[in-house]
Amino acid sequence: MAKTIGEDKGRFRSAKSVAHRLRQRVDYSSHGHQGGPERAIPEEAAQVDCGWGRLLFAQTFKDPTQLISALRQEAPEHRDIAIYVGDPHVVLATAPQELFLDPSHTFRLDLATYRSSRKQPRGFFIRRLSSEADAEAVNRIYAARNMVPVRPDFFWSNRDNRSITYLVAEDENTGEIVGTVTGIDHRRAFNDPEQGSSLWCLAVDPQARHPGIGEALVRRLAEHFKARGAACMDLSVLHDNDQAIRLYEKLHFRRIQAFAIKRKNSINERLYARPLEAYDVLNPYARLIVDEARRRGVHVEITDAEGGFFRLSQGGRSVHCRESLSELTSGVAMSICDDKAVTRRVVEGAGLVVPEQMTATDDDAKLAQFLEKHGRVVVKPARGEQGRGVAVGLDEFDAVKRAISTAREVCDRVLIEACFEGEDLRLVVIDFKLVAAAVRRPPYVTGDGRQTIRSLIEAQSRRRAAATGGESRIPMDAETERCLRLNDLTLDSVLEAGREVVVRKAANLHTGGSIHDVTEIAHPRLVEAAVKAARAINIPVVGIDFMVRSPTDPDYVFIEANERPGLANHEPQPTAERFLDLLFPLSGHRAASLALGKM
């Protein structure tokens, strides 16, 4: 990481000024320094470039004017943070239109008294970031957590920077990066006399299944800095992030009176500007679009928060939306998508590959014949969403009959399709161009030798709900019980440690499934088929679902089209950005770039 520490900026501070501004000084004798060495003198105007922005150590700046001048040098699309601001009221009074006091608490862990946990991580391990692939995975997690991304080459080019430590959590089975944390060594960054360190950018993949990833990352970083001889480790956390605060208090962090100041910019807007009325009631799919609209200066009026309805306006143009469904989608296109049998006929007419299908009737002989022909079938309501009433991979007549009965609770007309073995692929097409492709995988749990499957599902559902704003949970219903019976298990069975069991066959996010981006590797034939389906329906925004053997393989069968696809959870793909480009082509950075001839 390119270090911008003490760059030829006013190296003329008096010893009295230094002593006045250094906050929370450490008593060296209390940290094992007998008598203590001579106190180091910190760098003047110390800064550390973290890729997403700079950390400005305010206690090393000679006065508010110098600190404000540095904050004004913030790069576009970055977020600088001035930390350890001793007199925030004075700084804010100097530039009240430009700066705001960050509504976060600062916590400190005293490393001299910190004790490591004997509990070892299960299903994942912690290591240093070691490749560009790791860096790209970290950015994916940042995007999923609405954090400012960093150029992958920035991580990689700064992997040997002694001031900054990047740790990642890796899933033992899949090799996927499921968590990350960044640490700053203050002594190596600016010769800190307090021998401090700090934790930044703790983030866990919202789709991670293993508990304790965040705690393990915090502990490993604390152990790393303690081994280096650091006296403490600080962190900043939003005042209303109750889940994170509970974790830090559990690890014996304590509150300290330290403050941070940031610039007023589009990234920080939600921290200093009054939020839209009823904004918090919006689900993540609506909120993603609303946030992008506000960043572009598009006016937002929330018309029905609970239903996800809002109106976007700019200039003389106004568009009413329900999440990604807008007035640009015709009633005809919506009705085609609403009825899965109609959708199938339309896309089949356009040349797409579709599975054989029949409508469920009381003719058991016809049903048995269809099942015998295909071996395994899918049962689903002709109309419905979010995976309700869908059963996948049925191979027994009685199970099919039960699934039909369940599906009829969602819609009177039920469809039965031949089951295509493979992966569930969602392709988001906006303005007849592919924006994102993702494999959707069904939920599964991993045993620990102690807990029942019921307990494992409940714990995973809590994590999934917390990570998705309550949008994703694993139902414990007849379909879940059926899937367990296929493995001679029940909800009360105790899985041996390390054993993985799929608890539902359908990969829908709302029933606990997970989403994995494959946009860059999707086979061109799959992309072509998805765009062809969108054109056949004549719909500007759509989620096309295929079953595929692999996203890199051209073979597929069409499953359905969703007229209101969720644009969240497709990080790092710019789904909300492309949606706003469609609705308001002259808004945002894209329009500015076009006007300047840069695109």
| pLDDT tier at 295, thresholds 50, 70, 90 | confident
Range(s) within the chain of domains with CATH label 3.30.470.20: 329-355+420-442+505-565
pLDDT-based confidence at residue 11 (cuts at 50, 70, 90): very low
7, pLDDT greater than 60: no
- Determine the Cα–Cα distance for residues 598 and 575; give it in Å rounded to an integer: 21
Any idea what DSSP says for residue 511? G
Which run of H or of E encompasses 314?
Answer: strand 309-314
Rg (C-alpha) for the chain, rounded Å, is 27
Q: What are the tens digits of pLDDT across the range 380-390?
A: 898 877 678 88
**Averaged pLDDT, 465-471:** 74
In CATH, the architecture of 113-242 is 3-Layer(aba) Sandwich (3.40)
pLDDT at position 39 is 57
> Average pLDDT, stretch 536-541?
98
Examine the pLDDT at 26 and tell me if it is beyond 50: no
pLDDT tens, residue by residue, 167-222: 999 999 889 999 999 999 999 999 999 999 999 999 999 888 888 899 999 999 99
| Bond prior to 572 in cis (omega within 30° of 0) | yes
In the chain, list all ranges with CATH 3.40.630.30: 113-242
More confident residue, 565 or 280: 565
Closest C-alpha among 2, 3, 1, 7 to residue 66: 7
Q: Token pair of 114, please?
A: 């910190």
Give Cα separations from 484 to 446, 462, 494, 497 (angstroms).
13, 20, 12, 17
* Segment holding 244, helix H or strand E: helix 242-250
Residue 580 has pLDDT above 60, yes or no: yes
Dist CA 505 CA 479 (whole Å) = 8
Q: pLDDT by residue (tens digit) across 421-461?
A: 889 999 999 999 999 999 988 888 888 888 899 999 988 88
Strands 197-204 and 99-101: unpaired
Distance of CA 242 to the CA centre of its chain: 18
CATH 2.60.120.10 for domain 329-355+420-442+505-565: no
> What percent of the chain clears pLDDT 90, i.e. is strictly above it?
55
Q: pLDDT tens digits for 120-139? A: 888 899 999 998 899 999 99
- Tell me the backbone φ, ψ of residue 168, rounded to 5 degrees: -130, 155
For residue 399, the model assigns a pLDDT of 87
